[in-house]
Amino acid sequence: DISENFKGLAKYADNVMPTISSEFNYFISTLEDYYIAKIDGLNRIYNRLQEWDFESRMFIIDILISRINESGIEEFDEIEFKKKLLS
């Protein structure tokens, strides 16, 4: 069982999944998909992040920001994204 703090988050990276490099990458990809493909994606991400401590949420949010920027989505506002997820 992975505890929902930063130490537990690090263990996510070690859990290998057959089709994706790790459970952590699967989790991040799922959150990224919520933002890109779902009308209420930001709310879905917010709800999933509530399972984690503050340090873990910041780490996850920073990775999501990087991935979303890399995806080329226009008009992505990093500051507003982070503000909404940490409110």
pLDDT at 47: 95
Residue by residue, pLDDT tens for the chain (87 residues) are 445 676 766 666 666 655 556 788 889 999 999 998 878 999 999 999 998 999 999 999 999 999 999 988 888 899 999 999 998
pLDDT at residue 33 in the model: 93
Distance CA 59, CA 52 (A): 10
**Left if phi > 0, otherwise alpha if psi is -120 to 50, otherwise beta: which for 75?**
left
Residue 25: what pLDDT? 86
What's residue 13's pLDDT?
64
pLDDT at 15: 63
